[in-house]
Structure 1
Amino acid sequence: MSAAAKRVFLSGNFLVLVALFVVAGLISPYFWTTENLLNVIRAASLIGIVAIGMNVVILAGGIDLSVGSVAALTGAIAASVWLSGAPPLAFVAIPILVAVLVGLANGFLITAIGLQPFVGTLILMTVVRGAGLVYTNGQPIYADYPEPFRFLSNGWILGLPAPAVIFFAITLVTWYALKWRVIGRQVYAIGANETAARLSGVQVNRVKLATYVYSALLAGVAGLILTARMGSGEPGQAGQFWELDAIAAVVIGGTALQGGKGSVWGAFVGALIIGIVSNLFNLLGVAPQWQQVAKGGIILIAVGLQYFNDHARVAWTMFRASPRSEGAKP
Structure 2
Amino acid sequence: MHNSKTFAAGIAATLLATMPSAAHAELPAPVRALIDAAIADGNDDTVRAVIGLARDTNPDDGAELDTILAAYETQLAANAASAAAAQEAEIRNAGLFDNWSGSGELGAFNSTGNAENTGVTAALGLTREGINWRHKLRARADYQRNNGVTTSEQFLAGYEANLLINDRLYAFAAALYERDRFQGFSGRYSVSGGLGYQVIDDDNMSLSAQAGPAYRRTEFADGTSSSDIAGNASLDFDWQIAENIAFTQDASAFVQSGSSTLVSATGLQAGISSDVSVRLSYTVEHDTNPPIGALKTDTLSRITIIYDF
**What TM-score range do you get, normalising by the shorter chain?**
under 0.3
Normalised to the residue count of structure 1, the TM-score between the two structures is: 0.21
Q: Which has the higher strand share?
A: 2
**TM-score for both structures, normalised by structure 2:** 0.22
- Asked which structure has the greater RCO (Cα within 8 Å, sep 6+), the reply is 1
Which structure would you say has the larger Rg?
Answer: 2
Higher helix fraction: Structure 1 or Structure 2? Answer: 1
